[in-house]
Structure 1
Amino acid sequence: MTQTVIDSSPLFELSARTRVAADPAAVYAVVSDLARSGEWSPECRGGEWTEGDPGRVGSVFRGENLRSEDVVGWAPLVRGTWYTEAKVVRAEPGRTFQWMMLTHAGADQESIWGFDVEAEDGRTVLTHHFRMGTATAGIHEIVADLDEADRVRFVKEWTAKLAEDLDATLARIKDVIEQQ
């Protein structure tokens, strides 16, 4: 089998940071409440906890997402509304909150989103990060009929989209917290 860009690991690994005028506990309380993610996420419109205690390790969140037609418009992406499930894998109040995307069958994927909070000079440094180790089933579906040049193009453009989303998310979270 021929090696392809999609076989790279990690396929995606990005982070962005901002400073928020609030203490780490207050910032953590907001970012660990995934049901509020519609207030700041470019794609997630919110959702509900379906298993376990909200925000605790092992709990499962079902998110509602919306993607417009112009996002990497040439690629065969899911458009409109779709749903995902994620399991909390780290929940350390005032420090870190991470969740892993699950397959439609509920299996773990190497697709982890998270927030880290750290006190600095009376404020909080908030880091938002995403790492996809091996390509998920969804990525494999997207690139299945693409040639290698378009797969490389997809990874490049999707990486840029993710970076923009991380930055936009942080700016919106900062606004939400500082305007409370």
Structure 2
Amino acid sequence: MPTSESLTYSESIHIDAAPAAVYAAVSDVTRIGEWSPVCRECWWDEGDGPRVGAMFTGRNVDSGREWQTRSQVTVADEGRAFGWSVGPGFVLWACTMQESGDGTLLTEAWEFLPAGLAVFEERFGDEAAAQIADREAAARAGIPATLAAIKRAIERSS
């Protein structure tokens, strides 16, 4: 797989809540474990929170494998967008909010960056393509599941 290209995927869902309420939920990384089928929990570095440059750690579990990631917040635009870079520099995750009728259109986007693909090629060698395909499949299955869980949680609390 060429490392000069990235892999991307995104989906959207309508949530019956204002963009500010959706932002408040998705920018609280400590809640990701409630929604994600892979990420079990996240925690901020001491004193950090949802601001550009803030760092946090995530604990992930998939197919009997467990690992932690370090991430840095790349965008924190209240009511509009929240995103982070895993690695940093390997994978981008972003949630954008758009006012839509009486609610919000929440879009979750994933981008496996060239640097992340290169790390996988170095780490997994001949197995890199299969490992990358597994991560892409996890994103394609996980994003709609995560969006549905976010929707349920926000609408239940509204």
TM-score by length of 2: 0.89
The answer to whether residue 95 in structure 2 is matched with residue 91 in structure 1 is no
Q: Deviations over 1:9-42 (max 9, x none)?
A: 11x1110100001000000000000011010011
Tell me the equivalent position of 2:154.
177
Answer yes or no: is the 8 Å Cα contact 2:120–2:132 preserved in 1. no
Tell me the equivalent position of 1:16.
11
Closer/same/farther in 2, CA of residues 176 and 142 from structure 1, 3 Å limit: farther
CA distance in 2: counterparts of 1:54 and 1:25, whole angstroms? 16
Tell me the equivalent position of 1:105.
none
Q: Which runs of 5+ in 2 are unaligned?
A: none
CA distance in 2: counterparts of 1:155 and 1:100, whole angstroms? 17
Q: Which has the higher helix share?
A: 2
What is the identity percentage for the equivalent residue pairs of Structure 1 and Structure 2? 37
Structure 1 stretches of 4+ with a deviation exceeding 4 A read 153-157
The Cα of 1:139 is off from its aligned counterpart by: 1.9
Q: Deviations over 1:83-130 (max 9, x none)?
A: 11100010000000010112xxxxx31411010001110110000001
Closer/same/farther in 2, CA of residues 177 and 8 from structure 1, 3 Å limit: same
TM-score by length of 1: 0.79
Tell me the equivalent position of 1:144.
125
CA distance in 2: counterparts of 1:119 and 1:31, whole angstroms? 15
Q: Which runs of 5+ in 1 are unaligned?
A: 70-78, 103-107
Find the partner of 2:28 among 27, 33, 49.
33
Tell me the equivalent position of 2:106.
126
The answer to whether residue 139 in structure 2 is matched with residue 162 in structure 1 is yes
For the pair shown, the structure with the greater C-alpha radius of gyration is: 1
Answer yes or no: is the 8 Å Cα contact 1:51–1:59 preserved in 2. no
Answer yes or no: is the 8 Å Cα contact 1:52–1:58 preserved in 2. no
CA distance in 1: counterparts of 2:133 and 2:153, whole angstroms? 30
Alignment RMSD (CA, Å)? 1.9
Answer yes or no: is the 8 Å Cα contact 2:120–2:131 preserved in 1. no
One-letter identity of the residue aligned with 2:104: T
Tell me the equivalent position of 2:52.
57
Query: How many residue pairs get matched?
Result: 156
The answer to whether residue 3 in structure 2 is matched with residue 7 in structure 1 is yes
